[in-house]
């Protein structure tokens, strides 16, 4: 259906603006994974472009706002868009459901929350919270490996995670570390360096440190 232009699709009159927009924007040039629907200086919520299509936990994302904002995904959730309707069990596989209960997938949304850890300016990564939060409806992209590398050269992102109470701190640290490890080409020396910074950031908490390091390296 997407190949048929708006005017030639007899059904387009009945479609919601939103799905018309998605149809129009499904070209290859749109590579975003989500769109900001809630935004604050420290945190943002984005709706995934596709159901179950959110970036992974611990993934670095970039928001195309006035200044590109960088964040780490710390929560992904899929839920009913209607507050008084709850998904129920059907006892069918997803494929079967897609054939026989297609409407349920329209009623679910995947959203994700990201912790804002800084932004990018002409000079490169800035590990400071952006002066303005991301604009609502800005597109969210997954960071490239280069961007991740540039952003995780220092330990500031770990400090951001540790300073946030709302997130599952240790798990997020582990996920982020694994993510950055990959971006650094599996460089063990990098992991050791970050481990040392982490040791400093955690102060005396040896137990926590060893658990994080062990699991991050797993």
Partner 1 sequence: MAKRENGTGVYKSLRGQEIGVITRGSLVEGLEMKLDARQNIEDMKAGKFVVIEGDKNDFFSMVTDMRLDANNQEVLLHPPRQEDELLRQVLSGTSTYNIVSLRPMLMMPKGADGDEGPRPVKAIPSHFSQVQDAMEEDVAKIFGREGDEQGKYFSIGSPLDMDTPVCIDMVRFAERSNGIFGKTGTGKSFLTRLALCGLIHFDKAVNLIFDMHNEYGFKAMKETGQSNSTFVKGLKQLFGERVAIFSLDPQSTRARGVQPDHEVYISYDQVTVDDVATLQDELKLNPTAVESAYLVYAIYKDRWLRTLLAQEGPDVEEFAKEIGAHPGSLVALHRKLKRLENFPFMVQKGHEDGDVVDRIMEYLDRGINVVLEFGQQTSMLCYLLVANIISRRIHEMYVKKSERFYSTQKPEDQPRQLMITIEEAHKFLNPSAAKQTIFGTIAREMRKYYVSLLVVDQRPSGIDDEVLSQIGTRITALLNDEKDIQAVLTGVSGTDGLRSVLASLDSKQQALVIGHAVPMPVVIKTREYGAQFYRDMGCLDDVPPAERRAQVEKKTNALYGDN
Partner 2 sequence: MLVPRRKRHGIGRGRSRVLRKAVGGKKGAMLDLFAVKNQIDEMVADECRAQEDFREKLEMAVQAYRGWQADWQTLAEKIARSRTSWLMPGIVEGLDVTPTCLQRPEKISIAATDGSQIFPDRHEISSCFLINIGYILLHYGTGEKPLMSSKPTLYYREEEIFEEWDGRRVFVNRELVGTKRGLMEFSELAALSLAAQEAGHSVLACSDGTLIQWSLEGKPHDFKDYVLGETMRDFDALEKAGLPVCGYISHPGSQDVINALKLGLCPQDTADCDRCPWRPENQLGCSSEEKEVLQAQLWNGRVPCSPLDGISDAVLMRQILKPGQRSPVFRSSSKILESYGRHWIHFFYVHVGQEIGRVEVPEWVAQDESMLELVHACICDQAEKGQGYPVALSEAHERAVVRSADRESFYRFLRDTYVKNDMRAHISTKSFKKRHVGI
Footprint on this chain of partner 2 (rule: CB under 8 A): 1, 9-11, 13-16, 19, 82, 85, 95, 98-103, 106
Segment contacting partner 1 (CB under 8 A): 100-108, 157-165, 167-175, 202-210?
A: 202-210
Whether 197 and 155 have beta carbons less than 8 Å apart is answered as yes
11 binds, among partner 1, partner 2, none (CB under 5 to 8 A by kind): partner 2
Determine if 174 is a binding residue for partner 1 (CB under 8 A). Answer: no
207 binds, among partner 2, partner 1, none (CB under 5 to 8 A by kind): partner 1
CA dihedral 193, 196, 197, 200 (to 10 degrees): -170
Determine if 192 is a binding residue for partner 1 (CB under 8 A). Answer: yes
Determine if 175 is a binding residue for partner 1 (CB under 8 A). Answer: no
| Residue 22 Cα to chain centre, angstroms | 19
Q: Is 205 helix (H, G, I), strand (E, B) or coil?
A: coil
Cβ 7 to partner 2, closest distance in Å? 13
Q: Quick one: the chain helix, strand, coil %, rounded to 5?
A: 35, 20, 40
Q: Which is nearer to partner 1, 166 or 214 (CB)?
A: 214
Strands (E), the chain: 34-39, 43-48, 60-63, 69-80, 108-121, 124-126, 139-142
Residues forming the site for partner 1 (CB under 8 A):
188, 191-192, 195-196, 198-200, 204, 206-207, 209-210, 213-214, 217
């Amino acid at each position: 259906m997407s190949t048929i232009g708006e005017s030639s699709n007899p059904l387009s009159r009945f479609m919601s603006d939103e799905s018309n927009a998605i149809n129009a924007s499904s070209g290859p040039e749109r590579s975003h994974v989500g769109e900001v629907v809630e935004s604050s200086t420290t945190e943002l919520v984005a709706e995934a472009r596709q159901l179950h299509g959110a970036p992974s936990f611990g993934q670095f994302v970039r928001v195309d706002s006035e200044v590109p904002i960088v964040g780490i995904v710390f929560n992904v959730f899929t839920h009913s868009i209607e507050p008084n309707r709850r998904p129920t069990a059907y006892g069918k596989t997803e494929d079967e459901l897609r054939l026989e209960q297609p409407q349920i997938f329209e009623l679910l949304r995947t959203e994700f929350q990201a912790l804002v850890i800084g932004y990018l300016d002409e000079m490169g990564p800035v590990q400071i919270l952006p002066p303005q939060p991301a604009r609502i409806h800005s597109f969210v992209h997954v960071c490239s490996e280069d961007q991740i590398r540039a952003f995780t050269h220092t330990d500031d992102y770990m400090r951001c995670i540790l300073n946030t109470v709302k997130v599952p701190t240790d798990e997020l640290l582990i996920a982020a570390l694994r993510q950055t490890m990959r971006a650094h080409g599996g460089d063990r020396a990098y992991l050791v360096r970050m481990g040392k910074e982490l040791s400093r950031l955690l102060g005396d908490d040896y137990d926590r440190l060893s658990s994080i390091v062990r699991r991050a390296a797993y």
